[in-house]
Amino acid sequence: MALHQLLIDVPRQQLLQYIDGHRVKQYAVATSAKGVGQQLGSEQTPVGWHQVWAKIGTNCPANTVFVGRRATGESYNQALAYQYPNRDWILTRIFWLKGLEPGVNRFGSCDTLRRYIYIHGVPSSKPMGQPGSKGCINMHNNDIIELYSKVPVGAWVLIKG
């Protein structure tokens, strides 16, 4: 079985995909507008070793809206964006991350899983390659769909600040 790893390079705002140690793809992402950090409520992107805990959104159409990891039945569009201008849009696919380092990103007030940190899709109007999320790792929908089809639950994820 192939070893799948993702490296999220926060300074470069890139996600690098590796299979068996070989880089196979690179994507532009957006991490937290508030930088890196571990604490619950900080809206910062956590660093360190993680694992894909769950994949959510299999076979959902692009622009499917998720709230609480559940599809709402809505499809993102400009009218919906206008109706909910302050919503943190989670679209299309979700990789839910679990921290692997006790005291760094696992357990207590720094627990990535309990902070609901995801790699997820966002509207195409949201810029990539610069910080701008509320802690998660954001990707454009076409990119998250492509990555989702290739990365299994259990894949290792390293977030470097």
pLDDT tens track for 86-130: 999 999 999 999 999 999 999 999 999 999 999 999 999 999 999
Record: fold of 4-160: L,D-transpeptidase catalytic domain-like (2.40.440)
Side chain identity at residue 51, one-letter code: Q
In the prediction, which pLDDT does 2 show?
A: 84
pLDDT(1) > 80: no
Question: What is residue 54's predicted lDDT score, i.e. its pLDDT?
Answer: 98
Helix (H) / strand (E) element for 120: namely: strand 118-122
CB contact at 8 A, 45 and 31: yes
**β-sheet bridge partners, residue 55:** 95
The total of other beta-carbon atoms located within 10 Å of residue 87's CB is 12
Q: What share of the chain in percent tops pLDDT 70?
A: 100
Q: Amino acid letter at 6?
A: L
CB 55 within 8 A of CB 97: no
pLDDT score of 91 = 98
Mean per-residue pLDDT of the chain: 97
Q: Which tokens go with 152?
A: 């299994």
Report which secondary-structure segment, H or E, holds 142: helix 141-148
What is the C-alpha to C-alpha distance for residues 56 and 60, in angstroms, rounded to an integer?
A: 9
Task: For residues 51 and 10, give the distance between their C-alpha atoms in angstroms, rounded to a whole number.
Answer: 17
